[in-house]
Amino acid sequence: MTESNLSTQTNVNAAHHHAAHHHASEHKDSERNHYLLPFFLILIFAIVEAVGSWYTGSLALLSDAGHMFTDVAALGLAWLASALAKKPNVARHQSGVSYFELAVAIFNAVTMLVVIIFVIYEAIARFKQPHAVQGLGLMVIATLGLIVNLVVAKLLHLQVLHHGESLNNRAAFLHVMGDLLGSIAAVAAGVVIYFTGWLPIDPILSLLISVLLLIFTLNLIRDIWQTLHGKASLGQQHSHNHEHHHDH
């Protein structure tokens, strides 16, 4: 091989190495952004809904704001767990899931249970003593919240498509689905109150969403339980197959 050909081959190899490194870097940045953008969107709107619930007097909006604040913690911890899970020297359970990822999923499940219990307690109190609710303000804020939650749900869905589903990603998605349901309920409550003035719809829809969220949360707890007992959940199996496919 001539010196010119050798130089050309070296340049081609270097270009391939640079392209591979750039692709890997883009892959990591993409994964990080799929958690960070939802994190900031949820954080900003959680504050908006918290103030809005005080202004409108709506329990449905307050419960949605509560779910959003737990989302902020869930998405922030999900990003950390995702970064740590890639490190080879991280302590892992026998199922292959990192202990930190398990801890995050458990934290998410517990916080959801706390929010559900609070909303049910407050809803029962409101049946006994109804609170005045501003229907129009509730409708506007809840509709904006619904749009934000749809965007975040789409971003997390892309995360699953690109990087495979994991227990941790499932937990974060669970929180966002809870927000989505909460926003739909808050919009419905706003419409009914604005046009009919029927206040009991606010705690009724809050209770309905709490029951649906409880079902989602119990499914997550079941996945955690199976993982702790060495049975990989469907999400983990999918993630493993996804990684195996990429290795080839």
DSSP string, 63-77: HHHHHHHHHHHHHHH
Q: Quick one: tokens of 247?
A: 């290795």
Residue type, 69: F
Tokens 């091989």 found at:
1
Mean pLDDT of successive 10-residue stretches along the chain, which has 248 residues: 50 46 47 72 91 90 81 75 68 68 82 88 90 92 92 80 65 77 89 94 89 83 82 45 43
By the 8 A CB rule, do 64 and 142 touch? yes
- The pLDDT of residue 71 is 76
User: What was the pLDDT predicted at 229?
Assistant: 79
Tell me the C-alpha distance between 30 and 9, whole Å: 31
Angle at 114 between CA 112 and CA 120, to 5 degrees: 100
Identify the architecture of domain 31-247 in CATH: Up-down Bundle (1.20)
Other Cβ atoms less than 10 A from the Cβ of 161: the count is 10
Give the model confidence (pLDDT) of 205-240 as tens digits. 989 888 877 887 888 888 888 888 776 553 443 344
Instruction: Find out whether 100 and 81 touch, Cβ atoms under 8 Å.
Output: yes
Task: Please give the model's pTM, rounded to 2 decimal places.
Answer: 0.68
Over its C-alpha atoms, the chain yields an Rg (Å, rounded) of 22
Pair of tokens at residue 189:
């409550």
